[in-house]
Homo-oligomer: A and B are copies of this chain.
Amino acid sequence: MWFLRQAGRYQPEYRAIREHHGILEICRTPELVTEVTLLPVQQFDLDASIVFSDIMIPVAAMGVDLAIDPGVGPVIAEPLRTRADVERLHAVDLDDLDFLDKAIRMLVAELKVPLIGFAGGPFTLASYLIEGGSSKTFAATKALMLGEPDTWAALLDRLSDTVIAALRLQVAAGASAVQLFDSWAGALAPGDYERSVLPWSTRILSELADLGVPRIHFGVNTGELLGMMGQAGADVVGADWRVLLDDAWERVGHDKAVQGNLDPAVLFAPWEAVQAAADDVLRRAAGRPGHIFNLGHGIQPGTPVQTVKRLTEYVHDMTARAVEGEG
């Protein structure tokens, strides 16, 4: 088990570091990445660590001028709208991601649990570039995707090159698994996902196959996309809480692992409600090998630290008991 956004604003230690350092500054300073990444694994009994970074970090290395606004997300100085804008995106020079390489090497030397590397998925990255930031409707992204398929393809080709390079770098530095966060792909109709995103996700995941590390593929609102997300070449598919875990697993296929899927908002409720929700996830996982307990999306700011800690202990306690029961 581990938690999406397990290092973040819900932690007082993280907020203290953020008082002195911007998000991009932390991401680009190996010592700070290490400090922040280690916080949750030092405090809670987690089975994996995930490098503290941002999905826009490799995109910035393509020559995109961007900022991360606290509480808002990425803000792109000049949103991308034309083929010429796409042509200006250059290939990533791995030297420009040297801080990420260094951070992962430092982390792996410290960690007693596996480290997960990650990158953004093609739809999600494209949407930030086209919308200029986060969006409720993705109207500009979808208009370009449907109306200018050649420009869309050129953009996703370049983003895929970057994602592959960034993930290969992280594994070379010591990451034991990778997660492809196509967080907003669930905003698409299934047919649009299949035609306009899946080919690139498939390319990304297949070009990582030779690394021999588990590939996790995740997004929210993906109930109808789970089967395709697995077929793209993932070993593990993450699901949000909107779909029952056993239904999700059936759609993903029992030959693959699943990750999820407690509603992170439940962590604001009293412990009894958290426990009941965790019990439901575990009951639906039914002790099958290949369930990675996680939330359905990132831990939210304001989440009680004590609840995160107690949930970690509870899930480990319950799964240990289940294993004993089998033995």
User: Contact: B273 with A146, CB < 8 Å?
Assistant: yes
Alpha-carbon distance between A302 and B142 when the two chains are bound, in angstroms: 14
- Is A269 a contact of B189 with CB atoms below 8 Å? no
Q: Looking at the assembled complex, report how far the CB atom of A114 sits from the nearest CB atom of chain B, in whole angstroms.
A: 28
Q: Does A191 contact B (CB under 8 A)?
A: yes
Residues of B with C-beta under 8 A to A242: 186-190, 221, 223-224
Judge whether A190 and B244 touch: CB under 8 Å. yes
Q: Mark out the residues of chain A between 171 and 203 whose CB falls within 8 Å of any chain B CB in the assembled complex.
A: 186-192
Give Cα A139–Cα B137 distance, bound, in whole angstroms: 21
Q: Are B224 and A221 in contact (CB under 8 A)?
A: no
The main secondary structure of chain A at its interface with chain B is helix
Q: A189-B263, A242-B190 are known contacts. Are A269 and B142 too (CB-CB below 8 A)?
A: yes
Q: How many residues of A contact B (CB 8 A)?
A: 35
Q: How far is A264 from B270 in the complex, measured between Cα atoms in Å? A: 38
A282-312 interface (Cβ within 8 A of B): 300, 302
Which chain B positions have C-beta within 8 A of A209?
Answer: none
Q: Which residue of B lies closest to A263 (CB)?
A: B189
- A60 interfacial by beta-carbon distance below 8 Å: no
Distance (whole angstroms) from the CB of A143 to the closest CB of chain B: 4
- Complex CA distance for A192 and B268, rounded to whole angstroms: 15
